[in-house]
Amino acid sequence: MIIQAAALGWALLLSQVEGQEKAPQPETQQAGEDSAKGATQEPARQGSDLTGLLTPEEPMPALRYDQPILCTKLPPTKQVPSGEYRMQCDPVTRRCLIAPGSELDAEGVELDRPLLRTSYCDRSEASANVRVQEGYRFVPAIAESPPGWYRDEQGRVMQFNFDLHRRFYLGGAWAPLFRSGQPAETERVRVDFGIQTEFPGGSEDNRLHRVTLLETEVYLGEPSLDVTLVRYDFNVERTVPLFRITTFFGKPRRFDLGLNLGAWMEALHQETIEREDSELSLLTWGAVHGTLDVWHSKDLVSYVRFRVGPSFERDRTHGLNTFVPTAVFEGNLTLDTDGFHHLLFSAEAEKVLLDDPVENRPLHPERLKVKAGYELILLAINDQPVSLVADGRGMWRNDIPNVRGKWEWSANVGLRASLWAPARRSAPLASAR
């Protein structure tokens, strides 16, 4: 009897346990588990389909060159099969700009050509899954470009800002010559080249240094040559005024006046000129001039100034060493932010002193020169600008034997190619424009 009761109790206990294991879960509990599974699986679903994550904007934005950038790998697409992107995220707006890491073809498909002129990118993160889980929006964008450069929607970069004060240039121009009483020299042409650079300096004062090397002009038709081995000058914005003038008519007022004095020097300037079967060859050993800026731009690149000083000259034709005081009023103006328009002008007077008498030439001859020129960038080839150059020149001189002093005028129109013309130091970001 006891054994039968124990067997019956054991059978009841087993049936109760099996019923608990097979019992259906409550509806609310099942829904909570399904919701949790969906929450964990949703980012993985979205991460495998980049197209579903994108929220395009018009116009297409661009990454900022001056902000941190992440190089990351996203799910591949038909347009970007590599999945390599440059990404820049804003935690405030929860928005990520993404740009392909390579250039695209005309149909928007990735090429095997990495982007040029990009900034440093952080590769510490392998993917953007963290941003996906945090609910960031992904916006197709154009990759960043440095100041003075622009990138199109295919990722190709191009320069839009040029510093024509830092370049190597080579040009040619038609340069007809007109003189009273003589037929015009219409077959005259000019070839010019040179190297220019400038750099800021000075700790106490705002100063800009300029260096010119091998500045050369060769005229064919009626031959002449003008070449300078090296030229240096600087101008300055003084931080301490030279004069402090205070007026006491009513409220005291102070006016600060300063003299922005600089220097200009050149060495080994050769000039050879032929006129009416006469030739004159002059070698300037050196010249030292002081400069006074009447006006200059804030960055000192553009200026209008006076320049005065002596030159030490060798008249190689007549074997004379002379002393030549010179006075110049000149200007060099960059007329726009991107450096496309340049205006130059000058008026110069020279007097030859300490010379010996030369037959058929007055003692202490003089030279007067005026010039006004304009340069406009037309296009760029491989980011090297090609510009239109036009200028007018006038010259009066009586230092050439057997040639009567008279004005002669020339008009020069041609093209000039510039190499190594970087963006200006004040160049803006393309995105900022």
The tens digit of pLDDT for each residue in 269-315 reads: 999 999 888 899 999 999 999 999 999 999 999 999 999 999 999 99
- Chain-centroid distance, C-alpha 270: 32
User: In this structure, what are the phi and psi dihedrals at residue 327, rounded to the nearest 5 degrees?
Assistant: -130, 130
Question: How high does pLDDT run on average in the chain?
Answer: 87
Q: Where residue 112 falls among pLDDT bands split at 50, 70, 90?
A: very high
Q: Which residue has the higher pLDDT, 116 or 39?
A: 116
- Contact at 8 Å (CB) between 75 and 49? yes
| Spatial distance between the Cα atoms of 240 and 256, rounded to a whole number of angstroms | 9
**What pLDDT, on the 0 to 100 scale, is given for residue 345?**
98
Each residue of 356-374: pLDDT tens digit?
999 999 999 999 999 999 9
Q: Where residue 49 falls among pLDDT bands split at 50, 70, 90?
A: low
Q: Which range has the top average pLDDT, 118-122, 385-389, 397-401? A: 385-389
Residue 39: pLDDT over 60: no
- Chain-centroid distance, C-alpha 341: 14
Q: Which of 107, 101, 105, 111 has the alpha carbon at shortest distance from 63?
A: 101
Residue type, 375: E
**What pLDDT, on the 0 to 100 scale, is given for residue 192?**
97
Where does residue 231 fall: left (phi above 0), alpha (psi -120 to 50 degrees), or beta otherwise? beta
Give the residue-averaged pLDDT of 39-63: 66
Give the residue-averaged pLDDT of 52-73: 91
**What pLDDT, on the 0 to 100 scale, is given for residue 320?**
94
CATH number of 167-419: 2.40.160
- As given in the structure block, the two tokens for residue 48 are 């495998």
- Contact at 8 Å (CB) between 328 and 290? no
Residue 83: pLDDT over 80: yes
Residue 138: pLDDT over 70: yes
Q: Where residue 222 falls among pLDDT bands split at 50, 70, 90?
A: confident
User: At 177, which helix (H) or strand (E)?
Assistant: strand 177-179
User: In this structure, what are the phi and psi dihedrals at residue 149, rounded to the nearest 5 degrees?
Assistant: -125, 150
Give the residue-averaged pLDDT of 17-24: 42
Q: Where residue 129 falls among pLDDT bands split at 50, 70, 90?
A: confident
Q: Where residue 433 falls among pLDDT bands split at 50, 70, 90?
A: low
**What pLDDT, on the 0 to 100 scale, is given for residue 45?**
38
What are 299's strand-pairing partners? none
Residue 238: pLDDT over 90: no
Domain boundaries, the chain: 50-159, 167-419
| Spatial distance between the Cα atoms of 198 and 297, rounded to a whole number of angstroms | 15
User: At 11, which helix (H) or strand (E)?
Assistant: helix 2-22
Each residue of 410-427: pLDDT tens digit?
999 999 999 999 999 999
Give the residue-averaged pLDDT of 44-53: 55
Each residue of 148-205: pLDDT tens digit?
999 999 999 999 999 999 999 999 999 999 988 888 899 999 999 999 999 998 666 6
Task: State in Å, rounded, how far the first CA of the chain is from the last one.
Answer: 101
The percentage of the chain sitting over the pLDDT mark of 90, rounded to a whole number, equals 71
